[in-house]
Structure 1
Amino acid sequence: MLTGIEEVDWASLGHAYGPADDVPELLRGLASADPAERETALDGMYGAVHHQGDVYDSTLACIPFLLELVADPGVRDRGGIVELLTSIGGIELDDEEELGEHPGEDGEFIPAANYAMAAAAIAAGAGVFLGLVSDPDPEVRLAAPCALASLHPEPARVLTLLRERLTVERDTEVRLALVAAVGQLALRHASLRAETVEWLGWLARAAQDPGLRLAALAQRARCAPGEIPDDVVPWVTGLLEEIRTASAAGTGPGTPRGAAPTLIGQVREFLEEHAAGRPAPWTEELLRTLHAALDDRVDDRIALVLAQLRSPDRWQRADAIWLCGSLIRVWRGRYEEVVRLVGEQLHDPEPRLREAATSFLERLFELGAPAADALAARLASAPPGPAGGYGAVGRSGREGALIALARAGDIRAVPLLARALEGEDEVRRELLYATDGLGPSAAMLAPALRRRLARVELDERLYDRAAPLLHALAAVRGAQALPEVLRVLRSAPANRRDRVREAALRTLAAFGPAAREAVPELRELLAEESAAVSAAAARALWAAEEDAAEVLPALERWLRPGLPDADRCAAARVLGEIGPAAASAAPALRPALASRDPWVRVRAAAALWRVTGETEEVLPVLLAAWEENRHVRVDIAECLAEMGPAASAAQLVVLTELTRRRRHNAREGGSGTHDVHLDEKLLTLCRAALARMERGAY
């Protein structure tokens, strides 16, 4: 086994962490009789030789030995090696990428040719995968279909083999992998698509196993999204009900393999925990595939989620929550009933379902209102805690429910948050940042916030500890905390000093005239060399005294062309807040309308409107930036809503935004905590702007 491994000069080759002289030991470890050693070796291959998907010269040198290990039936856990080979050889580059280099660890660059050579080398030896579809080891059979679909150079032959194997395969997950590989072939090879789509359509109706029918339906939708039938929701719902009734009430615990201090082991344990107790854990991935194919058919996707949320099977309800998370982050729609039904899951005895529901609701902000009663009931059902402690909040997961309730703007969160603040435990920063949506009732939080701020140590962690408290004090207008805020402002340590002072100054600005005691320090800070601090000081000084002559020179100096964009934005924003009293700053704002940065243009244009009321210069700048950068649209819509009839030239732009189904800030592969909230804010502002424009037309 591993013939010729000593003939390779491994020390002259490299991987993510330097010379590859440790690779022979990893390869031998893959063939070890000890399962822990095999797992450690596989983890090392992913961690160094194929680090984050990179292909090094040592990766290329490993390929013949990995193929040899896969072909040897005496080697255990070969399924993991098949998956490793699939990953190494399955990276596809476009023409431009193939000509360049790819960044690797520590700034090094990996020739793109390595990826092409890896694919070619594995394709040349891909015949070994053909026999693996009938291997005695189900884990090998599970990995083989994807390897064949991705790497074998004869797709028609592979398609025939996969379809034939499906007629005799008895393992459910392997059968699903075979169908998924057939779909993958159809996507990769247009010449096979029509035939495959027809076969998948037949399988979706003819197969006896409802799971297999669902898999075929999902793959057919993936390959031919334009041909998804109108009755897809009742069809899928019926299949899910068949799967539920056909499955056992639960699955017995699997044989534990033992914990391993490896990333591979941690992933394995996570997946095992996720699937524990679920009779059909594979339905989640099938539904994810189907949702991806349905794409912008939002009403169908919502209907499917609603059907799952009403299922007697808690795991179908859990799947619905996980799938709806990605749906609501990308697409606008009528989610009221979805949110209400997710709220009902907070009372389920299964902790994983409750956790999924809480996590989903935390990110909804105002969209979480239909679940407010369920959230409040969940918090009220908590056992009483120690005096002065969290009580109904704690670190038990109920804290997430409180965050969701507060972000929804429900005042029932206020007394619970007050109790949390009175305790000794640390309060999650998200709770403190949620106070600005709680309205006047949150004023009762000010004394507790003040006491918390007074206890914050003035050390290197001051910003992390004080900034959320300062934000909350600003939100509740807790001016009685002025001495504590000034303590932070005056004693900020060198580490992140400007950010600490900026946060404190924002709070002083919220206090308005009640912060007059701070005026001498505010005047001093106007001359700071940090634009953020200087502008924040100007804002606070204006709020305290409303003397424009004192603050305008300090702001105008940060508007000069050539200064950093962030500096110009900070100054323009404060000038806009000052409004007509800053009209004399208009000449300093106008050059910023021609900035290359859209944020500078938008902030300057909005400020110019607010200080002068002029639209002739402002509207073209705002509308051009709207099309150039979707992330500036919230700021622009806010300005258009203020303009009202004067912004009538933007009516079509606003109407178009309101008719879009996709959220303006939707991102592929990720999202921010506030993305949905910001998009809903954009829609609210657009409706307000449109209403004011229409009123002005009559």
Structure 2
Amino acid sequence: MTHEVNDQAGGPLDVRVVVAGIRAEAKDEFLFEEVPWDRFPEGVTVRQCMERLLAGEAVRPSLARLIGLCADDMRAAVALTVPFLIRIGTDPKGRHRAEALAVTAEAARMRHQGVCTRADMLRFRGDDEWFFEVTGYLQNWSVQAARDAIAADGDLLLPLLDDPDPEVRIAAAYALAAASAREESILRAFRARLLAEHDPVVRAGLPMAIAQLALAHQDARTVEWMRFCWSDASRPPEVRVSAALGWMCLTDLAVPDELRAVLDEFATDEMARLMAPLPWMRAAEDTSTDGLRRCLRTMLHPGTCDSPYSADAEDRWDDPWS
């Protein structure tokens, strides 16, 4: 298998190469005929979804189909859509901009990003580990192709951090957090937006976006910035809670009592409901526990079983953060 994959690297079946080779004019004018969809699993279906999107027909089902392919670990052909979905998401007249950007962001993340341990919740896997989609295609290539496409169109996405629609701002931040390059300019934009942001849900999402991008690019300075954020009493509670999560994901240092005190005070049921719409929290939730509660249980008590049916379940229901 290793030999077969290496033989295809850089060739016509390497989706990274194909996405990078889409002409700027083809992206801007939605020239789907220039994209070799049929080289990749479900490519014909994906092209049909994109044609319906462009025509304004069955928009929600088409977007749902693309998200479903990502959820089912079949994102190679979806990676081909990223440059086009970005342009749909940046169209001020579009009616489904946030949803299009959400597909862009999901194509750039492996399914295992939903885990909520300190080590893995925000981590992008490197080339030293191979993961295969259910079709047998190398998932690393699909994700890298999408991340590269986001970085290449960063100039289109960055202005969306100031979009009037808070859902678009969240989706843009989620997508930009996956960019494979240009991290310095994106981090600056995230921090500037955080200072200006008035919506508490968006404010809660921005530290998560900052942490994920910083982790991917090994930006050590962000660890101290996160600590400053969660320890700063002048910051809004949702920013402090989100920064606390980000700090725990960026370092393996022992959790200080000061951070635990911040979470004890502000990581309430109300805060969990406020943060629930964030894509990072939706990825972490399960059928019995919201994302924030599950993250804190896993990060602060890593030995605790995640199953509600474990022997200590009754005790844990009495202490929702345990």
Normalised by the length of structure 1, the TM-score is 0.34
Contact 2:150 2:176 in 1 (8 A): no
Contact 2:205 2:242 in 1 (8 A): no
Q: Tell me: CA distance 1:38–1:112, structure 2 relative to 1, closer, same or farther (3 Å).
A: same
Which residue pairs with 2:4 in the alignment? none
Number of aligned pairs?
Answer: 268
Matched, 1:104 2:144: no
Deviations 1:49-78 (A, max 9, x none): x4623343x435433322321221222222
Q: What is the CA distance between 1:2 and its match in structure 2?
A: 4.5
Question: Which aligned pairs between 1:235-254 and structure 2 lie closer than 5 A?
Answer: 235-240=262-267
Contact 2:147 2:180 in 1 (8 A): no
Q: Secondary structure at the match of 1:326?
A: coil
Which residue pairs with 1:162 in the alignment? 190
Which residue pairs with 2:227 in the alignment? 201
Larger Cα Rg: Structure 1 or Structure 2?
1
Query: What amino acid sits opposite 2:61 in the alignment?
Result: T
Contact 1:70 1:128 in 2 (8 A): no
1:41 to 49, 62, 70: 62
Q: What is the CA distance between 1:170 and its match in structure 2?
A: 1.5
Give the aligned CA root-mean-square deviation in angstroms: 3.9
Matched, 1:29 2:52: yes
Deviations 1:283-317 (A, max 9, x none): x4334333333244x6xxxxxxxxxxxxxxxxxxx
Q: Which one has more relative contact order, counting CA pairs under 8 Å at least 6 apart?
A: 2
Which residue pairs with 2:13 in the alignment? none
Which residue pairs with 2:157 in the alignment? 129
Matched, 1:53 2:80: no
1:285 to 291, 296, 301: 291
Question: Which aligned pairs between 1:157-556 and structure 2 lie closer than 5 A?
Answer: 157-190=185-218, 192-193=219-220, 195-204=221-230, 205-240=232-267, 284-296=290-302, 326=306, 338=315, 341=318
Q: Tell me: CA distance 1:28–1:73, structure 2 relative to 1, closer, same or farther (3 Å).
A: farther
Q: Secondary structure at the match of 1:72?
A: coil
2 CA distance for matches of 1:97 and 1:220?
25
Q: Tell me: CA distance 1:115–1:176, structure 2 relative to 1, closer, same or farther (3 Å).
A: closer
Q: What is the CA distance between 1:328 and its match in structure 2?
A: 7.7
Contact 2:161 2:173 in 1 (8 A): yes
Q: What is the CA distance between 1:135 and its match in structure 2?
A: 1.3
Contact 1:77 1:140 in 2 (8 A): no
1 CA distance for matches of 2:128 and 2:216?
20
1 CA distance for matches of 2:101 and 2:200?
19
2 CA distance for matches of 1:146 and 1:170?
18
1 CA distance for matches of 2:125 and 2:314?
43
Q: What is the CA distance between 1:176 and its match in structure 2?
A: 1.0
Q: Secondary structure at the match of 2:92?
A: coil
Query: What amino acid sits opposite 1:162 in the alignment?
Result: F
Q: What is the CA distance between 1:134 and its match in structure 2?
A: 1.0
Deviations 1:670-691 (A, max 9, x none): xxxxxxxxxxxxxxxxxxxxxx
Q: Secondary structure at the match of 2:197?
A: coil
Matched, 1:147 2:127: no
Q: Tell me: CA distance 1:162–1:102, structure 2 relative to 1, closer, same or farther (3 Å).
A: same
Q: Secondary structure at the match of 2:196?
A: coil
Contact 2:229 2:235 in 1 (8 A): no
Q: Secondary structure at the match of 2:225?
A: helix
Q: Secondary structure at the match of 1:102?
A: coil
Which residue pairs with 2:166 in the alignment? 138
Contact 1:214 1:286 in 2 (8 A): no
More helix as a share of residues: 1
Deviations 1:331-363 (A, max 9, x none): x9xx59826848xxxxxxxxxxxxx9xxxxxxx
Which residue pairs with 1:15 in the alignment? 41
Contact 1:222 1:290 in 2 (8 A): no
Which residue pairs with 2:82 in the alignment? 63
Q: What is the CA distance between 1:86 and its match in structure 2?
A: 1.9
Query: What amino acid sits opposite 2:233 in the alignment?
Result: A
2 CA distance for matches of 1:208 and 1:293?
23
Question: What fraction of aligned residue pairs are identical, expressed as a percent?
Answer: 25
Q: Tell me: CA distance 1:225–1:115, structure 2 relative to 1, closer, same or farther (3 Å).
A: closer
Q: Tell me: CA distance 1:25–1:177, structure 2 relative to 1, closer, same or farther (3 Å).
A: same
Q: Tell me: CA distance 1:336–1:53, structure 2 relative to 1, closer, same or farther (3 Å).
A: closer
Q: What is the CA distance between 1:179 and its match in structure 2?
A: 1.1
2 CA distance for matches of 1:103 and 1:162?
32
Deviations 1:615-658 (A, max 9, x none): xxxxxxxxxxxxxxxxxxxxxxxxxxxxxxxxxxxxxxxxxxxx
Q: Tell me: CA distance 1:149–1:51, structure 2 relative to 1, closer, same or farther (3 Å).
A: closer
1 CA distance for matches of 2:316 and 2:30?
60
Q: Secondary structure at the match of 1:228?
A: coil
Question: Which aligned pairs between 1:82-101 and structure 2 lie closer than 5 A?
Answer: 82-91=101-110, 92-95=124-127, 97=129
Q: Secondary structure at the match of 2:72?
A: helix
Q: Which runs of 5+ in 2 are unaligned?
A: 1-27, 111-123, 275-281
1:5 to 32, 35, 41: 32
Q: Secondary structure at the match of 1:206?
A: coil
Q: Secondary structure at the match of 2:132?
A: strand
2 CA distance for matches of 1:110 and 1:225?
30
Which residue pairs with 1:75 in the alignment? 94
Contact 2:194 2:203 in 1 (8 A): yes
Q: Secondary structure at the match of 2:291?
A: helix
Query: What amino acid sits opposite 2:86 in the alignment?
Result: L
1 CA distance for matches of 2:128 and 2:248?
31
Q: Secondary structure at the match of 2:81?
A: helix
Q: Secondary structure at the match of 1:104?
A: coil
2 CA distance for matches of 1:187 and 1:30?
34
2 CA distance for matches of 1:51 and 1:235?
34
Deviations 1:113-144 (A, max 9, x none): 45444433332223322111111222111111
Q: Tell me: CA distance 1:206–1:28, structure 2 relative to 1, closer, same or farther (3 Å).
A: farther
Q: What is the CA distance between 1:171 and its match in structure 2?
A: 1.5
Query: What amino acid sits opposite 1:27 in the alignment?
Result: M
Contact 1:180 1:215 in 2 (8 A): yes
Contact 1:145 1:181 in 2 (8 A): yes
